[in-house]
């Protein structure tokens, strides 16, 4: 009987051969020594790069050539920001008629340029799509007395400059705000809504108390440090300036495994291939900037701790309220579940803070679109090449479609074209789809915890008390001791800065390192991955990282439990005055009586517009109805509409055509049955020949997108019946869509030729107005039935509109 003879693997052969084992040990030792020399040389390059970068007047990591158009230092209220035009690289042609893109970089401790760090970036994607691009960057030091409000006003001035440079462009600029720039852009859009086109906020926190238990421990930092008095102390020690390196250190402390081990070990283990990528990123990561003491105090007090932006409690110095409900441009929120700096609850919670339901969103004419990535980290949202090639490319390509979406709340999903049954009908690699959502559905994504509000409100009160005590007793002494020289040395000695300086050519201990590294590169002996000692090194590294992760998890859990136990005490909440008046712990604008009455007025205004218009509105409404009814919608429907403009509305400009499309979307979503039954009223006064022409145009547009589905064909039959009823002296023929209320033949014969007008019929008009609000019930219906823009619930009988129940928003 034959038994198989075990054959040792290649990895275990050296262990069985004493000489082979020794050779493996020697090869590994030699490789480790060589890698150590090369690693130290990479660190030396990093230090030299840091020193060279910070000594520049305008340090930036932007990967594109630019020209300065406006210098914020020359504005009436000077700031250290600049507006730059991005010059297209060779081989890229820009269409000056296309919508301009403005990318605003975050000023959160690092220098500018991350939004255009490499070709596969937000700016790179927009340039390849042919859009004129502009970049808003900043200088390392603020102007004396610079405030957050000054920065917001400067960004408004920059946007006006961009608009003036494109007088013939129909669309307003699209503005991209990364991280901390996102809330600045939203503040500017709330103050000057008419200047903005679609807004993309990527990884931007807007609701600072929101968060999921067991995740995002950064939101507890303010409470565990006793409030914002520490921020004031650091600003005073900095002689009125706050070192951005402290913000970077907070970021790094969230992931000690990566900060203290993994990032450096990755370079050490792959020093022959990883050095270039590492140094490119470190040029931005180590380029710390400085904020003004007034700026950072405003940010911490009003946003991070006070949470006043998402509750419409911020006021400008001239008395204007900053209310995000005033933003009229579509807002696209891009966040990630893998982001521990701006988790989805903080990126999306502002919707929940401002609105109790989709009714309020629609009444304020807001279109809010959100996309939640599954895994990418905070920096990956606006740095990762794969994210730029997928998500940012789709956002850029779909902005015209987002611009015509009716007001409401939508979630986007991105799927690969080659994984879909209709792959042949998709032009690009991915397809972006939009699905209507309700605030209740969004709430499940946010994980709202009402009990947390009392805790964070307590933190806000404690912060005010501690800050007042610091300003009364300590601040005069600290300011008396701080000087420009002491502040400069404190910045230099910050641990995050000092590490760069110590490993640079300015350290005499590194003088022999360049020659030694060159000698190693000339005679390199890398060891293979199958070396048993190299494998052991990898295992040890993984254990170190895993141990640091475990310690980090325990630290975060302990911090959360400590925060919850301290600020959840009823006695402490009473002592700071939270339970004295029985009022909510924070303002909820969506529940206020004034807002509910506003919603009712807007719904009534829209209902009065259902039967206003002429043949333009009738044709567009009909096409939207036939093409609607799917669980989600995508850009292909908009392209069909846009391609039909030359035939349907040749005299309309593209911007007016988009307004017409948006308004009819809007009306169908508000009350589908009333909108359809008003079509004969819109066609009043048209001859039979004109009506036939209109129907032929509609049929031609529908046929251009391929054969209609059975569902769409049934809808088109109903449209035909409504157009036939509009013929002069015609007898109505009831051709209702599937699911319509059944009618007896006698009822059909007695149906009037055209329905009683819902509002006074208007003469056919040439001008187009923008959309008006729709109701929460219809928004919920669109989501619950999975229809966009209209559902397929049983229709009311033709010529009658189902009675509407009065509701309180």
Condensed to tens digits (0 to 9), the pLDDT of residues 251-276 reads 999 999 999 999 999 999 999 999 99
Alpha-carbon distance 254 to 221, whole Å? 11
Q: What pLDDT, on the 0 to 100 scale, is given for residue 563?
A: 97
Inter-residue contact 635 to 427 (CB < 8 Å): no
Mean pLDDT of 593-611: 74
Specify the range with the lowest mean pLDDT, choosing from 198-212, 373-387, 703-717, 777-791.
Answer: 777-791
Domain with CATH 3.40.50.1820 in the chain: 66-209+307-448
Helix, strand, coil % in the chain, rounded to nearest 5: 55, 10, 35
Edge to edge, the sheet with strand 367-373 lists: 66-71, 81-86, 133-138, 101-104, 174-178, 199-202, 331-336, 367-373, 408-416, 430-437, 633-634
User: Which of residues 52 and 434 earns the better pLDDT score?
Assistant: 52
Residues whose CB is less than 8 angstroms from the CB of residue 312 and which lie 6 or more positions away in sequence, other chains included: 321, 322, 323, 324, 325, 354, 587, 589
Closest CA to 61 of 117, 119, 141: 117
Q: Measured between alpha carbons, how far is residue 127 from residues 96, 100, 119, 562, 700 in Å? A: 11, 10, 9, 49, 35
| pLDDT tens-place string over residues 74-109 | 999 999 999 999 999 998 999 998 999 999 999 999
Question: Above 80 in pLDDT, residue 645?
Answer: no
Whole-number pLDDT of residue 433 = 84
Unique residue bearing structure tokens 């059975």 = 710
Tens-digit pLDDT profile for residues 690-725: 888 888 888 877 775 556 778 888 888 999 999 988
Counting residues of the chain whose pLDDT is more than 70, the rounded percentage is 81
Q: Measuring CA to CA, which residue among 73, 107, 72, 70 is closest to residue 85?
A: 70
Distances from the Cα of 331 to the Cα of 2, 176, 457, 679, angstroms = 73, 10, 28, 32
Strand intervals (E) in 12-109: 66-71, 81-86, 101-104
Phi, psi (deg, nearest 5) at residue 326: -80, -10
The whole-number average pLDDT for the span 205-232 is 93
Question: What would the mean pLDDT of 320-329 be, rounded to a whole number?
Answer: 93
Token output for 347: 């990126």
Q: Please name which of 20, 108, 309 lies closest in space to residue 189, comparing C-alpha atoms.
A: 309
What pLDDT does 696 receive?
A: 87
324 within 8 A of 372, measured Cβ to Cβ = no
Whether the predicted pLDDT of 167 surpasses 60: yes
pLDDT of residue 281: 92
Query: Given this model, what pLDDT does residue 756 score?
Result: 34
Rounded to whole angstroms, the Cα distance separating 91 from 129 reads 12
Question: What average pLDDT does the segment 532-550 reach?
Answer: 96
Q: Which range (362-376, 449-463, 579-593, 660-674) has the least confidence?
A: 579-593
Q: Which of 87-101, 318-332, 681-695 has the lowest mean pLDDT?
A: 681-695
**Residue 45 burial (C-beta neighbours within 10 Å; 0-12, 13-18, 19+):** buried
Residue 419, pLDDT score? 61
Confidence of residue 743 (pLDDT cuts 50, 70, 90): very low
Q: For residue 337, what pLDDT is reported?
A: 92
Give the residue, 202 or 754, on which the prediction is more confident: 202
Q: What residues does 673 pair with on adjacent strands?
A: none
Max alpha carbon distance in the chain (Å)?
Answer: 106
Q: Nearest 10 degrees: CA dihedral of 20, 24, 25, 29?
A: 150
The three-state secondary structure class of 728 is coil
Q: What is the DSSP secondary-structure string of 739-803? A: TPPP--HHHHHTS-SSPPPSS------S---------HHHHHHHHHTT-BS---SPPPPTT--PP
- Alpha-carbon distance of 587 to 590, in angstroms, equals 9
Most confident of 564-573, 633-642, 744-753: 564-573
576 token code pair: 């700071």
Ranges 239-243, 547-551, 578-582: which has the least confidence: 578-582
How far apart CA 174 and CA 104 sit, in angstroms, is 11
Q: What is the CA radius of gyration of the chain?
A: 31
Measured CA to CA, the distance from residue 798 to residue 674 in angstroms comes to 9
Containing 367, the helix (H) or strand (E) segment is strand 367-373
If we measure between CA atoms, which residue out of 348, 351, 337 comes closest to residue 381? Answer: 337
Give the CATH architecture of domain 66-209+307-448: 3-Layer(aba) Sandwich (3.40)
Residues 175-184: what's their mean pLDDT? 95
Q: What's the chain's length in residues?
A: 809
> 10 Å Cβ neighbour count for 57?
6
Give the separation between CA 239 and CA 229, rounded to whole angstroms.
15
Mean pLDDT for the chain overall: 83
pLDDT-derived band at 608 (thresholds 50, 70, 90) equals confident
Mean per-residue pLDDT for 328-357?
A: 93
| Mean pLDDT along residues 505-523 | 95
Tell which residue, 78, 470, 51, has the closest CA to residue 237. Answer: 470
For residue 735, pLDDT beyond 60 = no
Alpha helices in 55-147 (DSSP H): 122-128
* C-alpha atoms less than 13 angstroms from C-alpha of 227 in its C-beta half-sphere: 22
C-beta neighbour count of 794 within 10 angstroms: 12
C-alpha pair distances (Å), 530 with each of 29, 35, 79, 151: 15, 17, 57, 56
For 769, counting Cβ atoms within 10 Å of its Cβ (0-12 exposed, 13-18 middle, 19+ buried), the class is middle
Three-state secondary structure of 602-658? HHHHHHHCCCCCCHHHHHHHHHHHHHCCECCEEHHHHHHHHHCHHHHCCCCCHHHHH
User: In terms of Cα–Cα distance, which of 458, 369, 445 is closest to 406?
Assistant: 369
The token duo for 88 is 């297209």
Q: How far apart are CA 766 and CA 616, in angstroms?
A: 8
Residue whose C-alpha is closest to residue 204's, from 337, 400, 346, 91: 346
Round to whole Å and give the CA distance between 694 and 713: 17
| Confidence category of residue 475, pLDDT binned at 50, 70, 90 | very high
Q: Check whether the bond before 789 is cis (ω within 30° of 0).
A: yes
What span, in angstroms and rounded, lies between the C-alpha atoms of 613 and 761? 8
Q: How would DSSP label each residue in 283-349?
A: HHHT-B-EEEHHHHHHHIIIIIIT--TTTT-EE-TTS-EE-GGG--S-EEEEEETT-SSS-HHHHHH
């Amino acid at each position: 009987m034959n038994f198989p003879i075990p054959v040792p693997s290649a990895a275990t052969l050296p262990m069985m051969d004493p000489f082979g084992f020794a050779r493996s040990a020697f090869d590994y030792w030699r490789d480790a020594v060589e890698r150590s020399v090369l690693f130290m040389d990479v660190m030396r390059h990093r230090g030299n790069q840091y020193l060279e970068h910070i000594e520049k007047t305008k340090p930036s990591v932007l990967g594109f050539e630019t020209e300065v158009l406006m210098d914020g230092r020359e504005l009436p209220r000077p700031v250290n920001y600049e507006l730059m035009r991005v010059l297209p690289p060779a081989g890229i042609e820009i269409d000056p008629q296309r919508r301009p893109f403005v990318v605003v970089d975050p000023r959160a401790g690092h220098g500018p340029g991350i939004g255009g760090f490499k070709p596969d970036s937000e700016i790179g994607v927009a340039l390849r799509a042919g859009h004129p691009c502009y970049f808003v960057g900043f200088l390392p030091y603020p102007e004396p007395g610079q405030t957050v409000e000054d920065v917001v006003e400067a960004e408004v001035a920059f946007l006006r400059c961009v608009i003036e440079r494109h007088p013939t462009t129909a669309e307003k600029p699209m503005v991209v705000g990364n991280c901390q720039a996102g809330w600045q852009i939203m503040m500017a859009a709330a103050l000057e809504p008419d200047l903005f086109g679609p807004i993309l906020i990527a990884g931007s926190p807007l609701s600072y108390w929101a968060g999921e238990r067991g995740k995002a421990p950064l939101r507890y930092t303010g409470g565990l440090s006793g409030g914002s008095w520490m921020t004031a102390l650091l600003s005073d020690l900095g002689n009125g300036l706050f070192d951005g390196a402290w913000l970077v250190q907070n970021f790094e402390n969230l992931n000690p495994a990566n900060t203290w081990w993994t990032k450096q070990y990755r370079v050490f283990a792959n020093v022959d291939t990883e050095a270039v990528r590492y140094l490119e990123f470190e040029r931005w990561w180590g380029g710390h900037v400085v904020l003004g003491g007034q700026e950072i105090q405003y940010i911490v007090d009003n946003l991070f701790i006070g949470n006043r932006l998402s509750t419409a409690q911020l006021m400008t110095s001239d008395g204007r309220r900053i209310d995000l409900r005033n933003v009229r441009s579509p807002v696209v929120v891009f966040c990630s579940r893998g982001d521990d700096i701006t988790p989805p609850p903080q990126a999306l919670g502002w919707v929940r803070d401002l609105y109790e339901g989709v009714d309020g969103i629609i009444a304020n004419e807001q279109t809010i679109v959100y996309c939640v990535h599954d895994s990418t980290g905070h920096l990956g949202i606006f740095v990762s090449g794969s994210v730029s090639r997928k998500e940012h490319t789709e956002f850029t390509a779909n902005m015209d479609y987002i611009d015509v979406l009716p007001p409401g709340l939508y979630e986007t999903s991105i799927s690969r074209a080659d994984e879909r049954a209709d792959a042949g009908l998709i032009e690009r690699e991915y397809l972006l789809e939009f699905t209507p959502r309700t605030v209740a559905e969004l709430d499940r994504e946010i994980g709202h915890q009402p009990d947390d509000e009392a805790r964070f409100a307590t933190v806000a009160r404690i912060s005010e008390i501690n800050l007042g005590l610091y300003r009364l007793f300590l601040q005069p002494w600290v300011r008396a001791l701080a000087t420009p020289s002491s502040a400069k040395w404190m910045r230099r000695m910050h641990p995050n800065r000092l590490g760069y300086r110590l490993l640079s050519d300015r350290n005499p201990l590194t003088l022999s390192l360049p020659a030694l590294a060159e000698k190693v590169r000339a005679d390199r002996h890398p060891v293979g991955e199958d070396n048993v000692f190299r494998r052991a090194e990898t295992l040890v590294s993984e254990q170190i990282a895993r141990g640091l992760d475990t310690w980090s998890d325990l630290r975060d859990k302990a911090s959360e439990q400590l925060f919850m136990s301290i600020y959840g005490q009823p006695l402490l909440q009473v002592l700071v005055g939270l339970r004295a008046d029985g009022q909510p712990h924070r303002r909820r604008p969506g529940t206020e009586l004034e807002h509910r009455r506003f919603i009712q007025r807007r719904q009534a205004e829209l209902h009065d517009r259902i039967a206003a218009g002429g043949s333009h509105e009738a044709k567009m409404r009909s096409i939207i109805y036939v093409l609607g009814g799917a669980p989600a919608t995508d850009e292909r429907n908009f392209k069909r509409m846009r391609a039909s403009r030359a035939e349907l509305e040749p005299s309309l400009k593209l911007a007016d055509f988009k307004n017409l499309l948006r308004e009819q979307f809007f009306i169908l979503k508000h009350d589908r049955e009333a909108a359809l039954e008003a079509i004969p009223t819109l066609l009043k006064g048209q001859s039979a020949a004109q009506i036939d022409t209109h129907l032929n145009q509609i049929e031609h547009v529908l046929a251009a997108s391929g054969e209609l589905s059975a569902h769409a064909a049934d809808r088109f039959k109903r449209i035909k019946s409504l157009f036939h009823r509009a013929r002069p002296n015609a007898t109505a023929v009831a051709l209702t869509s599937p699911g319509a209320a059944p009618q007896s033949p006698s009822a059909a014969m007695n149906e009037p030729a055209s329905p009683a007008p819902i509002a006074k019929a208007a003469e056919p008009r040439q001008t187009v107005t923008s959309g008006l609000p729709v109701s929460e019930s219809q928004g919920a219906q669109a989501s619950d039935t999975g229809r966009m823009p209209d559902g397929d619930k049983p229709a009311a009988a033709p010529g009658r509109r189902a009675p509407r129940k009065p509701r309180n928003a």
